[in-house]
Amino acid sequence: MNYEGRMRLHTLLLPALLGLYGCDGGMKVVVPDSGPPLDSAGCPTAGNGDLDVVGLSVGGLVLPQYYSAVSAVLGAGSCSTATNKSTCVWAAVGQTWTFTDCDEDGVPDAQGVCDIPNQDARLVPPYNGRTADGLGLGVSPACWESALGTPTSTPGNSDVWTWNTSMGVSVGFSGSGAETIDLGWAMDG
């Protein structure tokens, strides 16, 4: 390796070594996140509490909810409107909320327009919230069933399980874990 190649290699390695050892020469220990604690069946036993599938809340927003309250927490959503409803997506946090649009003006209704708040919320990756006992995206069907009991229905698709909680929760599974979580009334699509 010529001089220029060695200098380029040193330029790449030096920041990595300083990052591992620090400028003072003391070694830094980096411990990877091992995820939530698991029980003997491999089910999570703790979570951040951001999701409540029985009380139907996401990040402290209890369903049903108006767009103004959701956007106050998540910022402006990217909304599209179809007959009597607006679907708003917050892709960066993996959340989609459906709201009424009774006056069909192309925006979610404010309180007082129709007095029917949102219908549901869908959670998809990269949403990383979990119930206090660890349920969330990526968690196996067996763990969901262990926590919530036998599903009320699996409507024509064994990959979507529904439980009747306050208004209902449906979980779509793919592979070994939950891929979507729907809270509230059934979502279209």
pLDDT digits (tens, 9 = 90+) for 7-31: 444 444 344 444 444 444 554 444 4
Regarding whether 133 and 45 lie in a shared domain, the answer is yes
Q: What is the pLDDT of residue 29?
A: 46
Regarding whether 149 and 186 lie in a shared domain, the answer is yes
Regarding whether 125 and 54 lie in a shared domain, the answer is yes
Rounded Cα–Cα distance for residues 46 and 131 (Å): 8
Regarding whether 79 and 37 lie in a shared domain, the answer is no
Number of domains in the chain: 3
3: confidence class by pLDDT, cuts 50, 70, 90? very low
The 10 Å Cβ neighbour count of residue 120 is: 23
Does residue 121 carry a pLDDT above 90? yes
Residue 186: domain span: 33-58+121-189
Regarding whether 181 and 126 lie in a shared domain, the answer is yes
* Of residues 153 and 84, more confidently modeled: 84
Regarding whether 134 and 45 lie in a shared domain, the answer is yes
Rounded Cα–Cα distance for residues 66 and 86 (Å): 11
DSSP string over 68-104: HHHHHHH---EEEEETTEEEEEEGGGTEEEEEE-TT-
Regarding whether 189 and 99 lie in a shared domain, the answer is no
Regarding whether 157 and 110 lie in a shared domain, the answer is no
Q: What is the pLDDT of residue 167?
A: 66
Q: What is the pLDDT of residue 150?
A: 87
pLDDT, the chain, mean: 79
Query: Are 122 and 56 in contact, with CB atoms under 8 Å apart?
Result: no
Q: What is the pLDDT of residue 69?
A: 92
Residue 102 structure tokens: 């009774």
Query: Are 136 and 124 in contact, with CB atoms under 8 Å apart?
Result: no
